[in-house]
Amino acid sequence: MNFQPYVLQDTVNESDDVRTFRFAKGDGTLPAYKPGHFFLLRLKGEDGKMMQRSYSVASHPEEPFLSFCIKLKGAFTHLLWKLKSGDTVEIDGPYGIFLLRQEDTERVFIGGGVGISALRSMILQTVKHDGKRACLFHCAHEFPGLAYFQEMKSLSAGNPLFKFYPSITGEEKPAGWNGMCDRIGVPLLKKILGTFEDKTFYLCGSKGMVSGLTEALIADGVPKDRIKKDEWG
């Protein structure tokens, strides 16, 4: 491992318990990474012992920082929430194999909650650089859980190659909500996509969501090599 010191540039509160952290090195350099990679973050705990956790990178390699969209859950995230701009965190990476396939014809991104973190970078690469057709299904229990909602909405409005399908599964909806209210499953995907032919699926979310959807897609005839996944929990 090769942990390096990074300085917290700023944070963005996506909701009460979801925050985007942006880090940069003092010399302005960043490691070479690809959309879908993850990094290890290390901090000193309250007992003086070092703690580390892995997080998918939300930033695109062309952005001048490393950003991570993180949900407040557990001791390590409470340490992150106490950080102020200018504080230092040790970061190592990149790692991982949840990467885009260049041979894809069309990409279907499906995220649950903060699963959007890894998908954001992939979507920016797909739409702005690879020029491939793509869509995002992003599901959350409440509207604040739809991190990057405005960015994805604007990206969809400004690019005919990209479609955005947000969904709120909880009972409370914001006034005027005209998006979906369903969990993402094969029936809904078929209704919107029509066919799964020539599509590659990128799934990111809880283990229950990702494993269940993977099994359903395979049962419906989607080849295993056209399903890429990143899961936790």
Domain boundary among 95, 124, 141: 95
Q: Residue 8: is its pLDDT beyond 70?
A: yes
What pLDDT score was predicted for residue 179?
A: 82
| Mean pLDDT, residues 188-202 taken together | 95
Structural domain contains residue 100: no
Q: Is residue 18 part of a domain?
A: yes
Task: Tell me what percent of the residues of the chain surpass a pLDDT of 90.
Answer: 85
Lowest mean pLDDT among 18-32, 35-49, 66-80, 171-185: 171-185
Q: What is the mean pLDDT of the chain?
A: 94
Residue 171, pLDDT score: 81
Q: What is the mean pLDDT of residues 34-53?
A: 95
Domain span holding position 31: 4-95
**CA 6/CA 23 separation, integer angstroms:** 6
Domain count, the chain: 2
Same domain for 224 and 146: yes
Query: Any idea what the CATH number is for the domain that residue 166 is in?
Result: 3.40.50.80
Q: pLDDT, tens digit, for every residue of 115-171?
A: 999 999 999 999 989 999 999 999 998 888 899 999 999 999 989 999 999 999 888
At residue 172, the pLDDT reads 80
Q: What is the model's pLDDT at position 227?
A: 97
